[in-house]
Amino acid sequence: MNPRSSSRLHDVVVAGAGPVGLFLACELALAGVDVLVLERDERPEAPLNSAPLGLRGLSVATSEALDRRGLLDDLLDAVPRPAQAGHFAGIAIDAAKVDPSAWPWRAAGPALTTLASDIATLEAVLAARAFELGVVIRRGLGVTGLDERDDELAVHANDLAFRTRWLVGCDGGRSTVRKLAGFEFAGTEPEFTAYSALVDIADPAVLKPGRHATPRGFIMSQPGRIAIADFDGGAHDREQPVTRAHLQAVLRRVSGTEVRLTTLHQATTFTDRARLATTYRRGRVLLAGDAAHVHSALGGQGLNAGLGDAMNLGWKLAATVRGRAPDDLLDTYEAERRPVGQWLLDWSRAQVAIMRPGPQARAMEGIVRELAATRDGATWFAGQLWGVTLRHDLGGGHPMTGRSAPDLAFDDGRRLASWLREGRGVLVDLAGSQRLRQAAARWGERVRVVGGGVGKALGLAALLVRPDGVVAWASDDDAASTSELEGALTRWFGPAARATR
Ligand SMILES: Cc1cc2nc3c(=O)[nH]c(=O)nc-3n(C[C@H](O)[C@H](O)[C@H](O)COP(=O)(O)OP(=O)(O)OC[C@H]3O[C@@H](n4cnc5c(N)ncnc54)[C@H](O)[C@@H]3O)c2cc1C
């Protein structure tokens, strides 16, 4: 049967209404782009998306992104609990030892915090914003096919076909879009299957409490809950539901005890399979989130990276759709975000290396544990886990270029994050330079100019911030060069508007 084709041509179709697809849809709609989200599942509620098993650690980078779109308060209202500093292969990082002065380019603000939110709550906050922005989400329509015609695509879902100029696969680790569009997904095969489960145990004293290594892997046991890493080569078929009998067998094997599970309430599994798309764009199809990178859930980074992808891609794709983008703007998405994906895979592999059964891994784990317990070590790990040391290589000499912008506080009580909520670029003029202001004014509504009153902060005289909060250009010099600023404005926002006579 031929699919029924809609006559409407969308700017962008996003496949998947998970957190990454929803956030990307919000970014596109904020920039005035027509976006349709197609979601396979009929209903947003899934039991594993709720706490406790659906709980996810959100990094400082994610808090900042949400704050820059006015979503952080909504989330904080719903999940008022800061997360711990994080962990590396189960080695807890002590927040009290973290020294924020190691990141002098950060300005303290409400977003300088990590959070824990369950996926259901995060998705509800994002879906509400998407609704406010007029995004249409069609549920029960999983993408099943793709045709490319001239300069548009036909996206098939059930017996329907949707016309669109661009398609973004945010459809998770087993992405159909990735397969349909022929993306290569390269990486390494798993060494373990991990289980996280809510259980009743007949004889809990049989298991050692807390987290410990065994000859088969790792066990973490606390009242009502267990986590297991079974180094089985990733043999468990994740398509199969986890039964009580299966989980008990795994727990017995890994713990070396005859422990008895009386009830299995809920279980989730993952492996350390690590794969990364070799490119994030093929023609008019792009990937973001788990569709572009899969790895173990160790250290909780996948969601943070996916939301970072969405923030980075949204304004660039929107500018491309609207015909305003410099030629290579969209290519910078892959150039900036694929290295983050690569880091993510390696971060998770390094944890596997010290979790393997055997004396070598135990010895290495001991060394990492000692290092992580030092002030410098805790600060280094937190810098990675919280996403605060990330810097894109944008060229340019200033040490702040390519970093997340400091959340400067202005005399009128506003902060930089609040100026970014419109999704435009921002020139922060801290030295009261008429020359810079006049130069930026030629980019019209693409770049807002703010400043005044605050005086120099962090030694900065001026700062050009992209819509995603990344510093595009900065100067400490009160007499900063207008041509340097104009170069950065042209690079990220296209040519200035022509002067009208
Ligand atoms: C146990 C566990 C703990 C974790 N802890 C953390 C953590 O603490 N911090 C962290 O950052 N990350 C963590 N992660 C990873 C994080 O959950 C994922 O990286 C994140 O959910 C990925 O979001 P996504 O939107 O890319 O994909 P998904 O959440 O998988 O969403 C994809 C969406 O696409 C839909 N879909 C699928 N196929 C189609 C199709 N063909 N057409 C249309 N729609 C489709 C799906 O129904 C789904 O709604 C954890 C993961 C696990 C398993």
Ligand 1: which residues within 6 Å by Cβ? 15-21, 38-41, 56-57, 142-143, 170-172, 176, 196, 268, 270, 289-290, 297, 300-304, 306
CB atoms within 10 A of CB 52: 12
CA of residue 140 to ligand 1 center, whole Å: 17
Residue 41 alpha carbon, nearest atom of ligand 1:
47
67, pLDDT greater than 80: yes
CB atoms within 10 A of CB 187: 16
Mean pLDDT over 280-299 rounds to 95
* Residue 452, pLDDT score: 63
CA of residue 117 to ligand 1 center, whole Å: 14
Mean pLDDT over 433-447 rounds to 93
193-271 and 416-493 in the same fold: no
Question: The domain at 416-493 falls in which architecture?
Answer: 3-Layer(aba) Sandwich (3.40)
Q: Which residue matches tokens 């904080």?
A: 76
What is the domain partition of the chain in residue ranges?
4-186+275-385, 193-271, 416-493
CA-nearest residue, atom 17 of ligand 1: 303
CA-nearest residue, atom 52 of ligand 1: 297
* Residue 82, pLDDT score: 60
497, pLDDT greater than 50: yes
Question: The domain at 4-186+275-385 falls in which architecture?
Answer: 3-Layer(bba) Sandwich (3.50)
Pairing between strand 4-15 and 160-169? Answer: parallel
Lowest mean per-residue pLDDT among 185-194, 199-208, 276-285, 446-455:
446-455
CA-nearest residue, atom 2 of ligand 1: 297
* Residue 44, pLDDT score: 86
Residue 177 alpha carbon, nearest atom of ligand 1:
41
Residue 53 alpha carbon, nearest atom of ligand 1:
1
Cα–Cα distance between 72 and 117 in angstroms, integer?
11
Mean pLDDT over 419-436 rounds to 93
- Helix (H) or strand (E) holding 203, with range, is none
- Give bridge partners of residue 186 from the DSSP assignment: 276
**Substitution candidate for ligand 1 out of 23, 81, 290, 307 with most atoms within 8 A of CB:** 290
CA of residue 329 to ligand 1 center, whole Å: 27
Q: Which CATH number fits domain 193-271: 1.10.3720.10, 3.30.70.2450, 1.20.1250.20, 3.40.50.720?
A: 3.30.70.2450
Which positions ≥6 away from 484 have C-beta within 8 Å? 473, 475
Residue 302 alpha carbon, nearest atom of ligand 1:
19
